[in-house]
Amino acid sequence: MQSEPRIIGFLCNWCSYAGADMAGTSRLKQPASVRIIRLPCTGRINPLLPLKALVDGADGVLISGCHPGDCHYREGNLYARRRLELLHRFLPFVGIDPKRLRYVWVSASEGQRWQAIVGEFTEQIKKLGTAKAQ
Amino acid sequence: MKDILAELKKKAAEILPEVSYFICYGSGFDLLHSAPLFVKDKGDIDRLVLNRFCIHNLTSYLPPQKWPPGWLLEPGEKIGLVLKGCDSRSVIHLLAEKAILRSRVIIIGLPCWGMIDVNKLRNRIDINRINRVEQDKESIMLFTDANEVSADIKDILYDKCINCQYPNTLISDHFIGAKKEPDKGVQPFGKVLELERMSLLERSAFWDKEFARCIRCKACRNVCPVCYCQNNCLLDTRVPHWIKERVDANSNRWYHLIRAFHLAGRCTECGECARVCPMRIPINLLAMKMNSELFELFGFRSGIDVNIKPPLMTFQLEEDKL
Ligand code: SF4
Ligand code: SF4
Ligand code: SF4
């Protein structure tokens, strides 16, 4: 893959978006591969959103929310965890590489962790190559 | 099944005064088909049939009762229903989802010996010209003017009937006949496992081919007992516009992926979607895959226990397997 991969990030407003923001304001170097979509909560993520991103040709989807137990709305990410795990396990059944999807928990103070995750995931997606739009 | 038909008719006559109508099976357009029958008058009870062709999941004909009162059912109105074991799972799931009210349905349960898949007879005889059928518990004889064949029932059953885990209706107000022993060692997700033996690329190609054949008639959705969104179905909604009307492999894929997620942990594996598909796409496998994962993760089987909350409607702070 020549250019940066296209990764769609679904981030919750309260923890992960703030965490990513922190990575930015602390000038931690990270690849410009992730296009972030900010949502109120990972519980808002209908699994069809990341799935549509993948089906329509995103090279990867990275989802991040508050750590379980720390959800701003108490339980949104706990519903999300079940849905996203199911999505992850379903993808290979329809021929989509599950390595293109990752869901993580990043808090508002974990700028460095975010930097590491984005770096790692971008590398992983680069190895997989460009996804074919379906 | 003949022996319990008389009993069924008797029971149907008994409950008819209590219900607005009774959903059961009547004869179909030929000897190899039955059809859903809606009985309102006592005089029609003689039209009931019970044979090896009663494949339809009659749950699909229950009006969704969570609609405002009076919209489809008057307050207090009841419906009678005859249910096979597999079909009763759909009713149980609808109850677990609180989509229907237990007090509004009167269910007659029965034991089932499996239904015949007419498609499995196609290469043996011209099924459009059958003029006589004889059957007993083990075999069936089919006659046309020119030809006759006999077949072992077990070779021509629907796939889901070959290994039946739930041959007796799981929830009923009246059970007729003697209970049948369930088959032993059933692998409920066998077809999913078969497909999983392929590589990622092979499976991708497999579905590409299947989705390209789909004509988007939406019969699979319409027949599904748990697809009860009716006017609110996402697949018919323009705002937001989730899916193109155009019928091609890509939008068809998206159609089926949407459905698969709407059915996760809800599909009761009745197989009706695949049965009614005019293109014979094994489309039930997508939701079945969801179910197999939910079984592995949460030990959940849909439509078995009214009191178990479907796994995607709940969570645990500490998940065992996540
Ligand atoms: S019934 Fe078959 S052809 Fe019709 S929409 Fe469903 S999968 Fe497509
Ligand atoms: S998706 Fe198919 S197998 Fe599952 S409940 Fe609906 S019709 Fe039955
Ligand atoms: S496809 Fe989804 S929205 Fe449509 S009827 Fe089924 S569950 Fe409802």
Write the pLDDT tens digit of every residue in A31-90: 999 999 999 999 999 999 999 999 999 999 999 999 999 999 999 999 999 999 999 999
Q: Which helix (H) or strand (E) holds A106?
A: none
Mean per-residue pLDDT, B66-89: 84
Nearest residue to A131 via CA among A58, A62, A50: A58
For residues A23 and A112, the answer to whether their CB atoms sit within 8 Å is yes
- In angstroms, the CA B175 to CA A10 distance is 51
Which phi and psi angles does A90 have, rounded to 5°?
-80, -35
Q: Are strands B34-39 and B21-27 parallel, antiparallel or unpaired?
A: antiparallel
Write the pLDDT tens digit of every residue in B21-41: 999 999 999 999 999 999 999
Domains, chain A, with CATH or none: 7-133 (3.40.50)
pLDDT of residue B42: 95
Nearest CA to ligand 2 atom 8: B270
Q: Is the CB of B263 under 6 A from ligand 2?
A: yes
For residues B272 and B60, the answer to whether their CB atoms sit within 8 Å is yes
**Environment class of B175 (CB within 10 Å of its CB; exposed 0-12, middle 13-18, buried 19+):** middle
Residue whose token pair is 């949104």: A76
- In angstroms, the CA A60 to CA A126 distance is 10
**Mutation site for A-interface testing, chosen from B189, B195, B200, B234 by largest number of A Cβ within 10 Å:** B200
For residues B204 and B138, the answer to whether their CB atoms sit within 8 Å is no
pLDDT of residue A114: 96
For residues B37 and B50, the answer to whether their CB atoms sit within 8 Å is no
pLDDT of residue B184: 86
Residue whose token pair is 């109850």: B95
Nearest residue to B8 via CA among B120, B107, B121, B147: B107
Domain-by-domain residue ranges, chain B? 2-117+157-175, 190-313
Write the pLDDT tens digit of every residue in B170-192: 999 999 999 999 988 888 899 99
For residues B244 and A56, the answer to whether their CB atoms sit within 8 Å is no
Q: Tell me the pLDDT band of A3, cut-offs 50, 70 and 90.
A: confident
pLDDT of residue B66: 66
- In angstroms, the CA B39 to CA B33 distance is 18
**Environment class of A36 (CB within 10 Å of its CB; exposed 0-12, middle 13-18, buried 19+):** middle
The answer on pLDDT for A2 being more than 60 is no
The answer on pLDDT for B18 being more than 90 is yes
Cβ contact B196–A93 (<8 Å): yes
The β-bridge partners of A10 are: A37, A63
Q: Tell me the pLDDT band of B232, cut-offs 50, 70 and 90.
A: confident
For residues B212 and B252, the answer to whether their CB atoms sit within 8 Å is yes
pLDDT of residue B72: 73
Q: Tell me the pLDDT band of B1, cut-offs 50, 70 and 90.
A: low
**Mutation site for A-interface testing, chosen from B201, B257, B259 by largest number of A Cβ within 10 Å:** B257
Q: Tell me the pLDDT band of A91, cut-offs 50, 70 and 90.
A: very high
Cβ contact A86–B205 (<8 Å): no
Residue whose token pair is 């237990």: B102
Q: Is B236 left (phi over 0), alpha (psi -120 to 50) or beta?
A: alpha
The β-bridge partners of B39 are: B22
pLDDT of residue B95: 93
Q: Strands, DSSP E only, in B159-215?
A: 174-175
Please report the atom of ligand 2 found closest to the CA of residue B259: 1
pLDDT of residue B29: 94
Mean per-residue pLDDT, B301-319: 95
Q: Tell me the pLDDT band of B65, cut-offs 50, 70 and 90.
A: low
- In angstroms, the CA A102 to CA A98 distance is 8
The answer on pLDDT for A1 being more than 60 is no
pTM of the full structure: 0.94
Q: Is the CB of B86 under 6 A from ligand 2?
A: no
The answer on pLDDT for B138 being more than 90 is no
The contacts of residue B66 (CB under 8 Å, 6+ apart) are: B98, B99, B100
